[in-house]
Chains A and B, each alone.
Chain A
Amino acid sequence: MIPMTHFLVLGAILFLIGAAGVLMRRNAIIILLSIELMLNAVNVTFVGFSRHLADMTGQVFGIFVITVAACEAAVGLAILIALNRDRTMVNVDEVNLLKW
């Protein structure tokens, strides 16, 4: 049996990789994928806890997170495509009409 700490450490590492990707990468699609990685890291944590606690709630939450992540990706990609229509670019540094 795999101890719970393994799940938690895996979740934490994946979450940190995802967060670092959002903060450091400049390609909008990679940022989107990094966000998905963060959400899936949360899922690993939920399922790990769920197994440890012998409680189904964590798995139910995980399924909801997967569903929401799919909706989020759909909307995010649609916005990206709208941006791409007139300017071919995915680099967020070029998205600079509004000052930060």
Chain B
Amino acid sequence: MLEVVIPDIALSLALPEIGLAILVCAVLIIDLFVSLENKSRVGVVAFVGVVILGLVAFGQWGEGARTTFSGFYVVDNLSVFVKVCVLLCTAISILLLLQYAKVEKINYGELYAMLLFSVFGMLVMASGNDLITIYLGLETMSISIYVLVAFMRHDPLSREAGLKYFLMGAFASGVLLYGMALTYGFTGTTSIRGIAAAFSGEGGAAIAQNPVMIFGLILLVAGFGFKLALAPFHMWLPDAYTGAPTPITGFMSVAVKFATVAALMRILFVAFPAMADRWNALLWALTAFTLVWGNVAAIAQTSLKRMLAYSSIGHAGYVLMGVVVSMTVIDGKVTFTDIGISAVAFYLLAYLFTNLGAFGMLILVCRDGYRGDNIEDWKGIGQAHPWAGMAFVVFLLSLGGIPPTAGFVGKLYLFAAAVQTEYYWLAAIGLVMSAVSMYYYGRMIMVMYMENRGESQEVMSFSSAPSLFFALVVLVVATLLLGIFPGSFLDAAKGTVAGFI
């Protein structure tokens, strides 16, 4: 007789995702009843929903690793941390969007719905405990973001950015999938834990040495490299970031990194420790190249948005540096250090507030037909608008890693981790590139404070929309708070390690 096995499903573990799915449907339905002038109300509904879901996700913190849906799905501190941060980033992005969408005439309910769909993909990625779950989360995230990038249909730049991002992103997921297929073929399973078991089981050592399996691992890393825009897979990023609506640029630069890095760490640390020497060497090279390329190319930019885009490549390099230094070999045995993983978590958290803030400044000056995209546009703003100037300086210093800001503590912790696990060269490259980055962030500060505004230059006015004001105050305070009192945030970052490996 056929035996029916009812799988163990604990829906409460997936509460943030289920809630988000309901929220997206609600947003789409509410959108039907709201007139075109009042679409911001849809955004407010999305904002409130995301904040509540963030609190729900926060409630799952610190209860150890629990799996559900037959092991396809895991809730541990790392996934909860990523979910809370992604939802926080989304909430701030919606605040930044409310005003921007009106100015750029893209204030449609679908804008918020697509944003929430991509967040759904990110949450699934963060909790994915199987290659299938991770792949589906990644695609839900990516496809929604292709739409968001091309959302300003009336703007040729946005459409072009959408096409470029789409073509490169789809190509990357093909590469990633082929890596997953080869992994499945050699290990006979798509489960993250199952893959690890196959490597440590009988004949596992032979699989780890098989050249085709190594090729599959390279494809996997390359696929994630595309999504994270690591050099040399970064060529889509400057265009996509420049053309996309600015709040979306900020959103994708932060939230996509969170979700992708979480999935990458889960695959590499949990499933592939047997091949750690190989992926570590590969990531080492990618990190060094990304750090150098992102920071050096940013120097040459004349557009502020594009400069921030290149700088986000550099920051992806720093995040990846944390992933690399998490692995160390003690007595011939591969070990993952807590300090490396928590450095990644803290750096990402610092980057969330800082980078959203920097893009938020760009949104603040946006008005009909004027975007203030160029560095030259900011001449003399420091004297004319002291508060806005100060806020921008805080974000720029934090991006460059100068105390007393979040970026400083993030970099300090990261370099400490690198030195502790004896990755001296990587730490050195990171330090030098940090100095290089201060050149172009410093130039921006100099333009704002040292140069006088030209006679013929268009007046730059700062929006006084309460949602924008509130978002930027939160971001400035958070950036300084993380820099001056990092203690409890560092504890949270350290807590991500629990139950992960």
Q: What is the interface of chain A, defined by CB distance below 8 A to chain B? A: 8, 11, 15, 18-19, 22, 28, 31-32, 35, 38-39, 41-42, 45-46, 48-49, 52-53, 55, 57-58, 60-61, 64-65, 68, 71-72, 75-76, 78-80, 82-83, 86-87, 92, 95, 97-100
Contact = CB atoms under 8 A, between A and B. Distances in A.
Nearest to B236: A100
B166 to A, nearest CB: 5
B242 A45 contact: no
User: Chain B at the A interface: mostly helix, strand, loop or mixed?
Assistant: helix
Contacts, number: 123
B3 to A, nearest CB: 17
B179 to A, nearest CB: 9
B211 to A, nearest CB: 13
Given A31-B167, A98-B157, A75 B146 contact: yes
A100 B235 contact: yes
Nearest to B190: A57
A98 B163 contact: no
B54 to A, nearest CB: 27
A65 B180 CA distance: 12
A82 to B, nearest CB: 5
Contact of A76 (B166, B182, B184): B166
B185 interface: yes
A50 to B, nearest CB: 8
Contacts of A32: 167, 170
Given A28-B167, A57-B190, A98-B160, A71 B143 contact: yes
Contacts of A55: 188-189
B235 A38 contact: no
B159 A83 contact: yes
Contacts of B159: 79, 82-83
Contacts of B163: 28, 79-80, 83, 92, 95
Contacts of B181: 11, 42, 45-46, 49, 58, 61
Given A45-B182, A83-B160, A95-B160, A22 B132 contact: no
B493 interface: no
Contacts of B182: 45
Given A22-B171, A52-B185, A61-B135, 20 more contacts: A15-B174, A19-B171, A38-B171, A41-B178, A42-B180, A45-B185, A49-B181, A49-B185, A57-B189, A58-B181, A58-B185, A64-B132, A71-B143, A75-B147, A79-B163, A82-B162, A92-B167, A95-B160, A95-B163, A98-B238
Interface string B148-171: 001001001101111110110011
Nearest to A53: B188
B139 interface: yes
Contacts of B235: 100
Contacts of A92: 163, 167
User: In which size bucket is the chain B interface?
Assistant: 35 or more
B495 interface: no
A57 B189 CA distance: 7
A86 B156 CA distance: 9
19 contacts: A18-B174, A19-B174, A39-B177, A42-B174, A45-B181, A45-B182, A49-B184, A53-B185, A57-B132, A72-B143, A75-B146, A79-B146, A82-B150, A82-B153, A83-B159, A95-B160, A98-B239, A98-B243, A100-B235
Contact of A68 (B139, B162, B164, B185): B139
A72 B190 contact: no
B136 interface: yes
B146 A61 contact: no
Given A55-B188, A79-B159, A98-B242, A38 B178 contact: yes
Contacts of A65: 135, 177
A42 B178 CA distance: 5
Contacts of A71: 139, 143
A58 B184 contact: yes
Contacts of A8: 185
Contact of B135 (A45, A64, A98): A64
Contacts of A100: 235, 239
B155 to A, nearest CB: 10
Contacts of A19: 171, 174-175
Contacts of B171: 19, 22, 35, 38
A97 B156 contact: yes
Q: Which 5 A-B pairs have the closest CB atoms?
A: A38-B174, A49-B185, A98-B239, A45-B181, A42-B177
Nearest to B165: A79
Contact of A97 (B157, B189, B190): B157
Contact of B136 (A52, A64, A76): A64
B98 to A, nearest CB: 24
Given A31-B167, A76-B166, A97 B160 contact: yes
A68 B124 CA distance: 15
Interface in B365-398: none
A82 B146 CA distance: 13
